[in-house]
Amino acid sequence: MVNCPTHQLEVEGISVHYGRRQVLHNMTFAPMRAGRVTALLGPNGSGKSTLMRGIAGLTRAEGHIRLAGQDLSKLGVGERARLAAYLPQSLPPAVHLQVIEAVMVARRAGEAVSAECALRESTDVLEELGIGQLALRYMDELSGGQRQMVGLAQALVRRPAMLLLDEPLSALDLRYQFAVMDVVRRETRKRHIVTLLVVHDLNIALQRAHDVVYMRDGQLVAQGAVMAVTTPAVLAKVYGVQTRLEVCPRGLPHVLVDGIMGDSA
C-alpha cells in the first residue's frame, strides 16, 4: 500500500454503458485523497453503485482510473482486488463457516500470511468493529446486519489501499450505522487509505464523511468538502426538495426538508 501525501484516486472521463443505455456520462472528479471518507450521494438510479463497480473493475468502464498514479485498468483482476476492497450492497450467500475463519480467509487471500498472524489481525478487526462476540458464530446463523458487519471486517483486514463500500449501512440499526461510520472514518485516517461509500441517509453522510460527491442521472452535480458544497441549491438540483441546512451546537450539519420542489400543498 502506498502511504504518502500524494496517495489519491483520480477518475477522468468515466462512462459506462449497459447495452444501448448510457448510465455514466463522461464523469471527471477532483482527486479523492487518502485519509478522507468520500460519500457518494444522489437519488436512486443516479449511477452511484455503477460508479463504484466501475472503479472496482467489476463493470466495464471507459476512461481513466488511477490510484496513487497507477492505472488500475492495466492491472489483473487479482492485483486490482488486492488494492481495492469492494463490499457490495448484496452480500453473497452465507456459508457454514465461523466468522473468525471467514475473516482469516479474507486476510490470507492473495498474500502469504501465517495462520497466527491472520488470527491475531482478524480478532483485532472484529474487536475494533465491536463484534468480537461473533467470532465463533457461524456465518449462516447471522442476521443481515451482523453479516454486513463481518463483510466490513473482511474488507478492512485485507489492508487495502482503497475501500469501496456500497450501502454498508443498509441492514444496520441506528446505533451500528453511526458505529460503522466512526470506524470507517477512523480506519481511513489511521491506514491512510482512499474510502468511497454509497449511503442514503444524508445526515449521517454529512456528519461522518469528510467529502461528498453529488450525482444525478449519471452526471456529477457537485464535489468537495461537506460544508463547502452542500447547499439548498445543490440539494434541490439533486433530490428535487426544498431544504434548510443547519448546524448543531457541536458543529455538525443537519438537513431539514421543508417540501418537494413544485409541491404547492
Would you write out the chain's pLDDT as a tens digit for each of its 265 residues? 444 445 899 999 999 999 999 999 999 999 999 999 999 999 999 999 999 999 999 999 999 999 988 899 888 877 888 889 999 887 777 788 999 999 999 998 867 889 999 999 999 999 988 899 999 999 999 987 888 889 989 999 988 999 999 988 887 888 878 888 888 999 899 989 999 999 989 999 999 999 999 999 999 999 999 999 999 999 999 999 999 989 888 888 889 999 988 754 4
**Count of all residues that appear for the chain in the document:** 265
pLDDT recorded at residue 195: 97
pLDDT recorded at residue 5: 43
Q: How far apart are CA 211 and CA 3, in angstroms?
A: 20
pLDDT recorded at residue 47: 95
Where are the extended beta strands (E) located within the chain? Answer: 8-18, 21-27, 32-33, 37-41, 62-67, 70-71, 84-87, 162-166, 194-198, 211-216, 219-225, 241-247, 253-260
Q: How far is CA 110 from the centre of its chain?
A: 22
User: Which residues does residue 175 pair with via DSSP β-bridges, in sequence order?
Assistant: none
SS3 assignment, position 245: strand
What is the Cα gyration radius of the chain? 19
Q: Which CATH number among 3.40.50.300, 3.90.1300.10, 3.60.21.10, 3.30.300.30 corresponds to the domain 8-260?
A: 3.40.50.300
pTM, entire model = 0.89
Q: Cα dist. 101→78, 115, 161, 189 in Å? A: 21, 10, 23, 27
Q: Which of 84, 79, 148 is nearest to 111 (CA)?
A: 79
CB 34 within 8 A of CB 192: yes
